[in-house]
Chain A
Amino acid sequence: MVFATVAEDLFRAILQGTPPGTVYALVALGFVLTYKTSGVFNLAFGAQAYVSAALYYRAVNDWDWPTVPALVLSVFVLAPAIGLILERVIFRTLRTASAVSKLVIAIGLSLALPAIFELVFSFEAVAGRAPTGLLPNGNGVFYDPFGVYPFSRNELVQMAVALLGALVLGALFRFTAIGLSMRAVVESPRMTELAGIRADWVSAFAWALSSAFAGLAGVLIAPRFNTLLSADFSYLVVVAVAAAALGRLVSLPRALVGGLALGWVIAVFNTFAPRWAESASFLEPITDNLTLAMPFVVLFGIVVLWPAIRRAREATDPMAGVDPPPPTPTGYDRHRYLSIGLRAFTVSFLIIFGWVVWTQADIRWMFLVTQAVIMSTIYLSITVITGFAGQISLCQGAFAAIGGFTVFQMADRWDVSPLLAILIGAVIAAAVGALLSIPVLRLGGVWLALATLAFAYFFDSVMVKFPWVGGGDTSLLQGTRVPRPELGPWDFNDDKAFLVLAVIVLVLISLAVIQLREGTIGRTLRVLRSSEVASESIGISPAKARIAAFAISAFIAGIGGAMLSIHQENVNYGNNFAPATALFWLVLVVSLSARTVEGALQAGAAFSLFPPVILNGTFLGWILRSEERIPGLFPISPKWRFILFGLAAVQYARHPEGMVEYGKNRSLAKINARLHKKYPQAPTHNSRQQGQQAEHLQVVDAQASNSQDNAHSNPNAEAES
């Protein structure tokens, strides 16, 4: 009798998990479809789905269009058009780029696409105004085929489309010529061309198809949300990745089953966990927190523990050898005099800028400049982990938050000096970073990024809640307040004094990062990026190097997070360190330059100063010497920040040194050439060393591009093996 009751409850839970599971399955299918047909880990899938859903909502609700024309416009016109544009303008020329580069581009697009749509269509979400589905009263009419748990019309349509999608797409790839062509183009465009297939056309079709599916998924999923927000779709993507990962991103049936299974697991857990906690109270804290963290724990677990993923290696295009080698790292070709001149210019600029700020800035600009300095410190952590180690970490916000919360807790509980607490927070962050890196050591670029993203969301949904992290009742009564420190005669409640402190910290961290780059760890990381096998053959331990990179990166982020919290006199977690914010950090840094200290400084300045100076038109006021003369078109929408930097991230694949560095080198190319001609001085010891290094790296890079990491992925080869 009990068993029958349990069985009935289990069956009901499975049915209850089917609607959300179907949503995950739809997103996972779309994910797999995109990856299978383009090799791109498309984190912008959610953004594409949102755009179509929002246009459908606008057409039906505001323009009073009938369902079919609205569906045609949003799913079969707009969505494929977006796909075609993305393929033609961005991804066609990046077929041989690494999967990590494409991931970064996708992250940039996930920020830019919703912003572009909302600007063009003046679209704003309205709370409680639910998008309508394809069928009338789709959320209000229910059918109960099993007599246990009814499904709404919208949900039945979602299930039908998910099942049909898996079957049709599976058949397309398995039994049709176009399906085979799409898989072939991903593996080797050149070979496909040799076989007489127009790779460009096939690739365009693939993108149009996957984008249309994204649009359809968006329109179907949207009625589940009671307010149409792009953030909800992005969240779905993060969760659905776990489902897609079950099939290593290449298996449509597994993506379908994975999505459904995810929904079932969550529903079953929500059904039985409270009962377990009732009979065993010690389970209550675990079940309470696991409820919120389930999707991210599953994602992390799959990515870290699934053997197929741990063993996965990116397959290479057999004809990749005809591609030119990657560009040489910049800076090594720069004439010594030019380098000296640039450094002198930079130092002069900073001195003049600092003098202007010190003498002219009011409290607002002092705040913004200080924030720019502190953000630069945080971004140096990205320089280390992404620029030097070549790893994409999407949890830098969590590490920074650890620093901030540590200062808060130390000050609140034990009255510890914030200056000391900064160091403690950084050490704790480093320890967490090192611990996190251990299970992900064997993972490749994209999977590592996903694991860090899962951790970021886990931190956000679970860790922050604990009183010993987020403050509990204390934070509820007084917020997470953080005092400004005092050190002897220096009272850092004074904004100028605090700015000086922030600059000192930044300078120290910058010098440390430069030293790191030029030292053993930096060189080790560079060699690792080029060839892990070669590194191991000469006794370098990739594991130790990666752990070190994570720990150092987390340490720096912890310092920055602590400084930011002290600056604002509050941790302000939701404002400063949420997972989505950290995604924007990455986009900002890689688009400017992830490989140099200068890039981090530019990113910090861009983050804090670009909106008030550029988007608000303040620079025009300075030039015209009056704020009254600023044209009426200012302030420009803040969404432009996401559009410009999101699209700029696209350049990461072509110019990993960053747009600013690339632009600078281009503009200085003539001067550089003239200097080389006029002063063909004998190379100094340093430049000789650098030249030898450059040669070695070029050779190693060229070998790598022929054998391993710099080629595009071949997902289908893994599936067939």
Chain B
Amino acid sequence: MKFSFRVFLALVVAFVMLAAGCGNDDDDTSTIPVEATAQSTETPQAPEPEPEPTEASSDESTDTAGNEPEDMADSETEEMPEEPEEDYSTFVSIEGVDGVSDAEIAVAVIGTKSNNPTGICALDCYTTGVQAYFDKINDEGGIWGRELVISDVVDDELFNNQAAALEVIADGDAFAVFTATLFASGWVELDNAGVPSFHWGIHAPEADGKLSNFSIVAPTCAGCTVRHIPYLVQQGGGTRVAALGIGVTENSRICTGSYRDSINMYSEEIGAEVAYFNDELEFGLPNGIGPQVTAMIEADVDFVVSCMDLNSMITLAQELQRQGVRDSITLHHANAYDHAFVEESGELFEGDYVAIQLAPQESDMQIVRDFLHWTEENGGPTSEQTMSGWVNAHLFVEGLKVAGPEFDRASYIDAANTQLTNYTADGMINATDWSRQHSSPTPDDRTSNGHELECQAIVQVKDKAFEIVSGDPTKPFLCWDNSNTDWAQPEPTSFE
């Protein structure tokens, strides 16, 4: 019998469809951000506008004007919506605004699920975080008399973010867009259309200058020196430091250079120096990292700061283990805040430091407890991507509050940019002034577009779990005054 290729092709198609239809989806629980975003900047510590005013709880905090927190709180209070106890349930009928009906305020989520080359849980985990916060708000009665809903979840399939953004814009069903994408090619379309958009903060170039675009952290300063890295080296007892980065990624190379410069800048104060520098490693380290580790051993390296992805850090840690120096070299990770991985990986990352953009889940804060509770209600993982979705949703709601009961996209964006000048996500992030932080600060000008405090949340891996380095779970951030680059010990800080 002659076997026709066409028959075979038809059989393959039928079989695959049948199998795919009967198969179960795997839940992807890995939630590591794609790129290192280790730099962080600072903000004033005045309380953000909330129905119940909270006190600034940082010790000895100052703003750039050198005012005491009380002064800052007073001055900030003048910019807040009128009444802390304002009722956000007032209903005003709104016509002609995409995504807003009498019953709902709808948003769309665009992200990468298919063709994801990194293995991280992007779209699903991020959407879980957004939905979790929406559930919390809806449970409290919604906002402006409406429920918050996700009208559409669009998989941009890695390469089609721009088309996905246009699809959402054209459909007209969403008031705002949340994005968890690996290629942010669609943001220009969202900005051109005046759609408020929210994202997880790894695409600073695409976000630059777009007033409608809000991330979990404001665009960071590429190339600026930072103090948390030398601080970590000092904490870890490091004296000879290696700085490692991936060569094909401009972000990683710039990041590595800034870490080297940071250590050089405070070398005397911390008693450490850069002994090995390599920003040209191959992505994924396909040829291993043996010669580089040997060179680090010969240079007596005892601390490694890195701008590499999780996979590369695992390879590095394994190579250190192989060459018998894992216990004598401490690592700094930019992308390893993964509870499931740390539990499974045994001793591999023991004692290492992990920098994260948000207040860690180990913090003793109401917002974190809420996050854990509502995420669990949604059955989702409590990953860093989920936290990003939660924070973005929080920001979205805060913007609605300040926009008032009668709003449209333009008024929303205007209100968010003029009134959210000390936004902290109830303490989950370093306070952000959205009136001036839509562009990246530069080494020559760190403050015009930068935070008022240079802050970073850092945890350490101990016994397969994370511990907050600040020592106080109510104050998870380590902060410095960003008006200068003087060396000082950081202040444990809370933005709650």
Most buried by B among A231, A465, A650: A465
| CB-contact partner of A226 in B16, B204, B314, under 8 A | B314
Q: Is the CB of B247 within 8 A of A292?
A: yes
Stretch binding the partner chain, chosen from B26-34, B54-62, B92-100, B363-371: B26-34
Q: Is the CB of B287 within 8 A of A288?
A: no
Q: In the complex the two chains form, what is the Cα distance from A231 to B32 in whole Å?
A: 19
Q: In the complex the two chains form, what is the Cα distance from A475 to B278 in whole Å?
A: 21
Residue numbers in A under 8 Å from B318 (CB-CB) = 139-140
Q: In the complex the two chains form, what is the Cα distance from A231 to B284 in whole Å?
A: 11
Residue numbers in A under 8 Å from B188 (CB-CB) = 568-570
Which range holds the interface residue count of chain A? Answer: 35 or more
Q: Is the CB of A127 within 8 A of B205?
A: no
Q: In the complex the two chains form, what is the Cα distance from A127 to B119 in whole Å?
A: 4
Stretch binding the partner chain, chosen from A13-21, A30-38, A66-74, A420-428: A13-21
| CB-contact partner of A122 in B26, B282, B291, B315, under 8 A | B26
Cβ-based interface call for B465 (8 A): no
Most buried by B among A229, A365, A477: A477
Cβ-based interface call for A665 (8 A): no
Given contacts A267-B290, A364-B163, A364-B166, contact A638 B115 (CB under 8 A): yes
Mark contacts of B257-296 with chain A using CB atoms, 8 A cut-off: 1 yes-contact digit, 0 otherwise. Answer: 0000000000000000000001010101011101110110
Closest to B312 in A: A226
Cβ-based interface call for A444 (8 A): no
Cβ-based interface call for A116 (8 A): yes
Mark contacts of B220-255 with chain A using CB atoms, 8 A cut-off: 1 yes-contact digit, 0 otherwise. Answer: 001100000000000000000000000110110010
Q: In the complex the two chains form, what is the Cα distance from A79 to B164 in whole Å?
A: 37
- A418–chain B nearest beta-carbon distance, Å: 15
Q: In the complex the two chains form, what is the Cα distance from A465 to B157 in whole Å?
A: 25
Given contacts A126-B119, A226-B315, contact A638 B247 (CB under 8 A): no
Q: Is the CB of B338 within 8 A of A291?
A: no
Cβ-based interface call for B468 (8 A): no
Mark contacts of A204-240 with chain B using CB atoms, 8 A cut-off: 1 yes-contact digit, 0 otherwise. Answer: 0000000000000000000011111101100110010
Q: Is the CB of B170 within 8 A of A128?
A: no
Closest to B442 in A: A477
Cβ-based interface call for B65 (8 A): no
Residue numbers in A under 8 Å from B208 (CB-CB) = 477-479
| CB-contact partner of A229 in B3, B117, B247, B341, under 8 A | B117
Given contacts A16-B290, A121-B23, contact A475 B311 (CB under 8 A): no
Q: In the complex the two chains form, what is the Cα distance from A231 to B294 in whole Å?
A: 29
Q: Is the CB of A124 within 8 A of B205?
A: no
Q: Is the CB of A477 within 8 A of B290?
A: no
Residue numbers in A under 8 Å from B9 (CB-CB) = 647
Given contacts A465-B247, A611-B157, A612-B163, contact A128 B314 (CB under 8 A): yes
Q: Is the CB of A570 within 8 A of B322?
A: no
- B246–chain A nearest beta-carbon distance, Å: 10
Q: In the complex the two chains form, what is the Cα distance from A292 to B284 in whole Å?
A: 12
Q: In the complex the two chains form, what is the Cα distance from A126 to B21 in whole Å?
A: 22
Closest to A228 in B: B119
Q: Is the CB of B3 within 8 A of A88?
A: yes
Closest to A62 in B: B26
Mark contacts of B138-156 with chain A using CB atoms, 8 A cut-off: 1 yes-contact digit, 0 otherwise. Answer: 0000000000000000010
Closest to B3 in A: A89
Given contacts A267-B287, A367-B162, contact A122 B20 (CB under 8 A): yes
Residue numbers in A under 8 Å from B311 (CB-CB) = 127-128, 225-227
| CB-contact partner of B440 in A93, A267, A363, A477, under 8 A | A477
Cβ-based interface call for B118 (8 A): yes
Cβ-based interface call for B25 (8 A): yes
| CB-contact partner of B183 in A62, A150, A572, under 8 A | A572
Q: In the complex the two chains form, what is the Cα distance from A19 to B319 in whole Å?
A: 12
Q: Is the CB of A477 within 8 A of B205?
A: yes
Q: Is the CB of A271 within 8 A of B248?
A: no
Residue numbers in B under 8 Å from A16 (CB-CB) = 288, 290-291, 294
- A138–chain B nearest beta-carbon distance, Å: 11
Residue numbers in A under 8 Å from B117 (CB-CB) = 229, 231
Mark contacts of A5-32 with chain B using CB atoms, 8 A cut-off: 1 yes-contact digit, 0 otherwise. Answer: 0000000110011011000000000000
Residue numbers in B under 8 Å from A17 (CB-CB) = 287, 290
Cβ-based interface call for A152 (8 A): yes
Residue numbers in A under 8 Å from B291 (CB-CB) = 13, 16, 267, 270-271
Q: A120-B20, A128-B338 are in contact. List 15 more A-B contacts (CB 8 A).
A: A12-B294, A93-B5, A124-B25, A127-B338, A128-B345, A129-B30, A140-B321, A149-B290, A152-B322, A270-B287, A288-B280, A291-B280, A477-B205, A572-B185, A651-B5
Interface of B with A (CB < 8 Å)? 3, 5, 8-9, 12-13, 15-16, 19-21, 23-26, 28-30, 32, 114-121, 155, 157-163, 166-167, 169-170, 183, 185, 188-189, 204-206, 208-209, 222-223, 247-248, 250-251, 254, 278, 280, 282, 284, 286-288, 290-292, 294-295, 310-311, 314-315, 318, 321-323, 338, 341, 344-345, 440, 442
Closest 7 CB pairs between A and B?
A: A16-B290, A127-B119, A479-B205, A125-B119, A364-B166, A122-B23, A226-B311
Interface of A with B (CB < 8 Å)? 12-13, 16-17, 19-20, 62, 88-90, 93, 116, 119-130, 139-140, 142, 149-150, 152, 224-229, 231-232, 235-236, 239, 263, 266-267, 270-271, 274, 288-289, 291-292, 362-365, 367-368, 371, 460-461, 464-465, 470, 472-473, 475-479, 568-570, 572, 574-576, 581, 611-612, 633, 637-639, 643-644, 647, 650-651
30 A-B interface contacts by CB (under 8 A): A12-B294, A16-B294, A19-B290, A89-B8, A120-B15, A121-B19, A124-B26, A126-B26, A127-B119, A128-B119, A229-B119, A267-B291, A288-B247, A292-B280, A367-B166, A461-B248, A470-B250, A472-B250, A473-B254, A475-B205, A475-B250, A477-B204, A568-B162, A570-B188, A572-B162, A572-B185, A611-B157, A637-B20, A638-B157, A643-B16
